[in-house]
Amino acid sequence: MWVAIGSVVLGVIILVFWFYRTQTVWVKSEPYLRVSIEPAKTLVVVYSRTGNTMSAAKETAKYLNADLLKIEAPQYSRNLKGQMLASKHADEEVTTTPIDHDPVDLNQYDLIFLCSPTWWFRPAVPLWSFVENHDFNGKRVFLLMTGNSRKTDERTGKFGTLVEKKNGKFIDALFIKRGRVYWQKTPEQVNEEVLEALKERKKIWR
């Protein structure tokens, strides 16, 4: 009896510790530096709270020889307060929040790749804000999301609608499921999956 209770308590502690770590620790990835004298035709825009989407975005930028633009949103910091705010805003389907990034002129690009974690079945709020703040002027826009479990077409579909409202041509969305706890993919496995998905769609990028 006590062994069973002890096992359950231990299991709960491990789960809480795992959850806390995934929300507070930044997953590192190699720096990305574009090496080309030609101006890039593709822009990869990324918001990442804990580093997983950043790694996938860099893989994408490398494959597409793209410029990489990072969005910061310190209000969603890697602590409990930031986590709770992220959760609240995502659940309320907020579409604007303060964001920081280097100045960017979208006119130079043919293809804009937006990369985001999934928050409550939809892209994270900073990505919505980026779209709200820009005119896509007929550019093709592709969405890449990473998540533990799933997105919904209903909530993510609204993101596509916003892109179109901001004059972008929303091509498609790709969701990379990382899984949870013991079933979670490593960043290398996620990157491999991203690369495969990009190669499968290679006609789109030309």
Ligand X SMILES: Cc1cc2nc3c(=O)[nH]c(=O)nc-3n(C[C@H](O)[C@H](O)[C@H](O)COP(=O)(O)O)c2cc1C
The residues binding ligand X (CB under 6 A) are: 48-54, 83, 86-87, 90, 117-121, 146-150, 178
Pick the closer one to ligand X by CB: 112 or 115: 115
Tell the smallest beta-carbon distance from residue 23 to ligand X (Å).
6
Pick the closer one to ligand X by CB: 60 or 146: 146
Pick the closer one to ligand X by CB: 147 or 160: 147
Helix ranges restricted to H, the chain? 2-24, 52-64, 80-91, 125-132, 153-165, 187-200, 202-205
Pick the closer one to ligand X by CB: 166 or 178: 178
Tell the smallest beta-carbon distance from residue 173 to ligand X (Å).
13
Tell the smallest beta-carbon distance from residue 39 to ligand X (Å).
27
Q: Which residues have CB under 8 Å from 47's CB, separation 6+? A: 53, 70, 71, 73, 99, 115, 116, 117, 124, 126, 127, 130
Tell the smallest beta-carbon distance from residue 115 to ligand X (Å).
8
C-alpha 56 chain-centroid distance: 8
Distance separating alpha carbons of residues 114 and 44, to the nearest angstrom: 6
